[in-house]
Amino acid sequence: ELLEQCWSRFRPDSELNLLHARAGHGAVPVSEDLHRLVSSLVQAWTWSEGDVDATVLGGMVAMGYDKDFASVAAAPLPPSWQRVPGQGMGGVRVPAGAVSLPRGVGLDPGAIGKGLAGDIVTTEIADAGAHAVLVSIGGDVVTHGAPPDTSAWCISLRDDRTDAREEIGVVTLSGEARAVATSSTLRRRWSGRHHVLDPRTGLPLDSDVVQASVVADCGWRAEAGATVALMRGSGAASWLAARGCPARLLEPAHA
């Protein structure tokens, strides 16, 4: 709840939205949690070579995704909907204890928010003395240590292409492989569109990969990697593998 109140773009009084209101006014003092979020969003943008771009907020709002998804799904697309490409994170500054946003820039934390929250909660529990920790937020998993009776965590992967959501494999998390995240263009669909925008065009992504599960050393990177896989399509597997992030990619069921 504390992170939700800090990071949510759907709560008018969230700290993130208060920051948005001061975009273009220089460095704004922020909490440790918001500073970490924005720092991680900048890091994800750099690591992904621009594929993970939180400045797509304008495009998401223009498309009608300006409230929680249950409300969005029941509403039609705005009649005058126009694409709004991302602006890139290059102008975002994160000096100690503060954040500076360019004028007109807002941030959508959705591409890494669940994974980063998992990182924070897992670390807090481990620092409190727990030897084995597993945190699952929205299906994305972050771990610390190993279960008492085995050397690795075994996480089931499910196929979102069918209503049955059958198991399609199991990933093991141990050592440096601490997190797994799944992203899909099959969820959060309304009016024939989905919630993953291509930051370069401002349009819903068109990819030969509809679901991606990625393993990484931390939650935010696993989640960012899953977005990269959707952006780059089937060719993303080698890019991710070269960065120590094995992936399971699914193409449309009819392919």
d(CA 119, CA 127): 12
Structure tokens that stand for 95 in this block? 């000096």
- Closest C-alpha among 223, 225, 224 to residue 246: 225
The torsion defined by the Cα of 223, 225, 231 and 232, in degrees rounded to 10, comes to: -160
Assign a CATH topology to domain 113-250: T-fold (3.10.520)
Ranking 14-28, 119-133, 146-160, 213-227 by mean pLDDT, the lowest is: 146-160
Ranking 75-79, 222-226, 246-250 by mean pLDDT, the lowest is: 75-79
Tell me 31's DSSP state.
-
Q: For residue range 64-114, what is the model confidence (pLDDT) as tens digits? A: 766 564 555 555 655 566 788 999 999 999 999 999 999 999 999 999 999
Q: Which contiguous run of DSSP H or E holds residue 169?
A: strand 167-173
Tell me 100's DSSP state.
B
d(CA 88, CA 107): 10
Contact 6, 38 (CB under 8 A): no
pLDDT value of position 77: 58
For residue 136, pLDDT beyond 70: yes
DSSP 56-88: GHHHHHHTT--S-HHHHHTSPPPTT--------
Share of the chain above pLDDT 90, in %: 75
pLDDT value of position 38: 99
pLDDT value of position 155: 96
The CATH code belonging to domain 2-109 is 1.10.3980
Q: How confident is the model at residue 189 (pLDDT cuts 50, 70, 90)?
A: very low
Strand-pairing partners, residue 193, are 190
If DSSP codes are grouped into helix, strand and coil, which group holds residue 232? helix
d(CA 70, CA 31): 29
Q: With a threshold of 0.85, does the pTM exceed it?
A: yes
Contact 66, 117 (CB under 8 A): no
Query: Angle CA(212)–CA(154)–CA(182) in degrees, nearest 5?
Result: 15
Q: For residue range 15-66, what is the model confidence (pLDDT) as tens digits? A: 999 999 999 999 999 999 999 999 999 999 999 999 999 999 998 888 876 6
- How many angstroms separate the most distant Cα atoms in the chain? 57
For residue 164, pLDDT beyond 90: no
pLDDT greater at residue 218 or residue 64: 218
> What mean pLDDT is predicted for residues 243-249?
97
**Domain segments of the chain as ranges:** 2-109, 113-250
> What mean pLDDT is predicted for residues 175-190?
83
One-letter amino acid at 42 equals: V
Mean pLDDT, the chain, rounded, equals 90
pLDDT value of position 41: 99
The torsion defined by the Cα of 33, 39, 41 and 43, in degrees rounded to 10, comes to: -140
d(CA 106, CA 180): 27
